[in-house]
Each structure stands twice: as C-alpha cells, then as structure tokens.
Structure 1
Amino acid sequence: MSARIALRVPDRALLGAYEAALREGWSPNTVRNVAPEQLAAIAADPDAFLGKLVGRGGRIRLDDGTEVDKIPDRVRWVFALDRPGEPFVGAINLRWLEDEAGRAVEALPPHVLGHVGYSIRPAFAGNGYATAALEAMREQAREIGLPRLVITCDATNLASRHVIEKNGGRLVETFVAPIYGPDPRLKFIVDIAPQPPAAGAGQGTA
C-alpha cells in the first residue's frame, strides 16, 4: 500500500510544525543545513518568511554566496495522512522557467540542477513518503505544462535514486556540478504524460 500524504501550501497554520522540524535539525535543503537561517527568519517576521517561500520574484542566495533571480516555483509541505495527527514529514518543491507568454519550458538555469527537490525528516524516512510526494508533484508538473522533469541526486544516495526510479525516472547522465562540490551526481528524466482530454471533449452533437 502506498503511503498516504497531502501536499499543502505553506501558511501560518502549518508553520509551527515546520518550525519544530527545523529545531530538530532537519533541513529542507539537502545540500546544506539552512535550518538556523530559516529559524532566524521565522523569528524575525513569519509572514515575510512565508511570503518569500511561496511568492514569485525576488532574489535568492546560492551556496557559494552569489545572488540570483528566483525562478517560478511551488513549495509544498508534506503531511502524512496515515499517521496519528497527520504529522509534518518533509518538503518538496517544483521549479521551472517560463517563456515570454508565461508558459513553462524545460530549460533550467545553470544553478538549478533539476525541476524537483525534496527532503524527508529522518524519523519518517523509509516509509514511502518521498515516493508519494514526488508522484503528487508530477501531477502539478502536468498542470503547468511541463512534458518531463529533470531530477538529480548524489551518486551515493541510493534512497533518493530509488524514489526517482519508482516514479519512472530513467538515468541519463552522471555528472559533476562544480558549484555544488566535486562529488558525482546522477541525472534522471521523468516523462510526464499529457493531460487526457475531458470526457466528451471534441465530440460533436447530433
């Protein structure tokens, strides 16, 4: 049986659960621990923190200290529906670029290695929550018109590789991204089936 999860838009009602996970040492960024800076931002102005998390535009700081424009994205917090109290178990995000008409395109800027990133709290790892969250996020990718997803992980991260492959990911490349260190990474492609036409669409009337 698949893990039962809900992807929820970050808001004030959910912020306490997210903050508690940060205090435990969990980080939504798998490359570096951003928990301390996020806790400081929440303490300073929780509404501003949430606005930056879910809003469009603005700038973000990369791991090497440089700042770049924030690209369109969807951040979703993952809650387990098959556990008492429906606890917060992690986070997942979808990011993409748009053309001049506002349509999603496959290309990504050099500092963005893939369309999707996810992080599950250690206490809930190994229960299928990442696999279920990625499956749900694939549906959101279809909604915005992406025909496929690029997803990457460290070459040694067998758990993440399993999550991607469970979602139909096929390995296309092993590479190194100097901006994120010398360790090899794996690149996967996940094809997104087009949205089926609505029942009766395109049918004439007698």
Structure 2
Amino acid sequence: MSDSIVSLHEPGRAVLPAYVRALEAGWSPNTMRDVAPEQLAAIAADPDAFLFGLNGRGGKIRLHDGSEVDRLPGIIRWIIAARGPESQFVGSINLRWQEDASGKPITELPPHVLGHVGYTILPDHAGRGYASAALAAVLGEARTIGLPFVRITCDADNAASRRIIEKNGGRFVESFVAPFYGPGERLMYRIDLQS
C-alpha cells in the first residue's frame, strides 16, 4: 500500500539493514520502552527469525513493566519515504485489534493497549509529513480488515501528533490518565472508517 510520499512495507530483508542502522543510532520502534538493544541482539542471532516474529501472529509480548501478555492480532509496516532520488526507511507504524470467537475483528482493546494504531518516525525525518501519510495508508488497511473505526492516542503535550491524527479525520473523544503508563495526560481520538 502506498501514499504519494511514503509506501508501507511488511518488515523484510530488503529494508533490514536500514532498520538496523536506525536502531544502532538510538531509535526505538516502541514509544513506551527502548527495545533497540533486544532487537539488535535478536537480529544478530537470527535475522529471519526476527522478521518472522514481527510478521507472525500469536505468542507473547513484553510490556514496559516487564510483564508478558498475549500478542494481539496486528500488522507492522515499515515506512519508506518516496521523496527524492532514493527511497529510505523513516519509521514504523502498527495496527492492532482483537478478534471475536469466529475470528472477526472487534474494536475493543485490552487495558494495556491505548489505541489501535502506533507509529514512530526517526527524529531526522520528523515534520516532513511521513507520519500523516503513513497513518492515512494504514487506515486503508484497517478498512480492509473490517474495523469500523480506530482509536488512537497521544500525549497531551504532543502537538505534532495531534495534528497528524486530526488531519486524518481524528475526532477528539477524551483526555485521560493511564496509570499503567505513568501520570501523564493523554488524549483519545476516534477515526471512523466507514464510507
């Protein structure tokens, strides 16, 4: 799936060297905890197993407090900038959801998951429209999956993220504190996906 300034790619070998360079430079695809050291170790040990783990379903994930929970169904996409003479890795976006007993996507999320979508852009590429374009593209994937809407959150003081969400149709729902993630105020938005 692509947009005019980015394309979204399933994690794979072609982009893995650029992903490794970003991790080595201190970027983390997880905004709640720095996963760069453990991902670098996993890639060094077995890059194919690492990629399979990103693209696969099931298993466990470790939360920022060290606890482990079942991994939700979801997708991870690496964001590739399409501006300029060369394409380059600029970040990551993910979409997650739950499923009912028949395997149909549902919009409810467990308490440890703040929203359906999470994204992070490498600092050197922030402010260029990549996150907004990636969010627009992943919303198309959410429609295809069958979600009627997505919830997305950001820190209350993150004006850039608020603009990205609002540009993509986000309607403010509420401000809240998620004690599991700290005392900071967060904002909840809803983006309807029905045509």
Alpha-carbon displacement from aligned partner over 1:32-87 (angstroms, at most 9, x marks no partner): 22111111111111111111111000011111111100010100000011133201
Q: Which amino acid aligns with 2:52?
A: G
Q: Which amino acid aligns with 1:41?
A: A
Is it true that 1:26 corresponds to 2:27 in the alignment?
A: yes
Q: Distance in 1 between matches of 2:144 and 2:4?
A: 22
1:5/1:133 contact within 8 Å kept: yes
1:157 Cα offset (Å): 0.7
Partner of 1:137: 138
Is it true that 1:57 corresponds to 2:62 in the alignment?
A: no
1:169/1:190 contact within 8 Å kept: yes
Q: Which runs of 5+ in 1 are unaligned?
A: 195-206
Alignment partner of 1:109: what SS? coil
1:131 Cα offset (Å): 0.2
Partner of 1:116: 117
Partner of 1:204: none
Q: Distance in 1 between matches of 2:153 and 2:165?
A: 9
Provide the aligned C-alpha RMSD in A.
Answer: 1.1
1:78/1:88 contact within 8 Å kept: yes
Partner of 1:173: 174
Is it true that 1:40 corresponds to 2:41 in the alignment?
A: yes
Aligned length: 193
Partner of 1:70: 71
Q: Distance in 2 between matches of 1:33 and 1:61?
A: 12
Q: Which amino acid aligns with 2:154?
A: C
Partner of 1:107: 108
Q: Distance in 2 between matches of 1:104 and 1:18?
A: 30
1:78/1:133 contact within 8 Å kept: yes
TM-score by length of 1: 0.91
Alignment partner of 2:15: what SS? helix
Q: Distance in 2 between matches of 1:184 and 1:128?
A: 25
- The 5 A counterparts of 1:151-166 are 151-166=152-167
Structure (1 or 2) with the larger CA radius of gyration: 1
Q: Which runs of 5+ in 2 are unaligned?
A: none
Q: Distance in 2 between matches of 1:72 and 1:12?
A: 22
Q: Distance in 1 between matches of 2:133 and 2:45?
A: 33
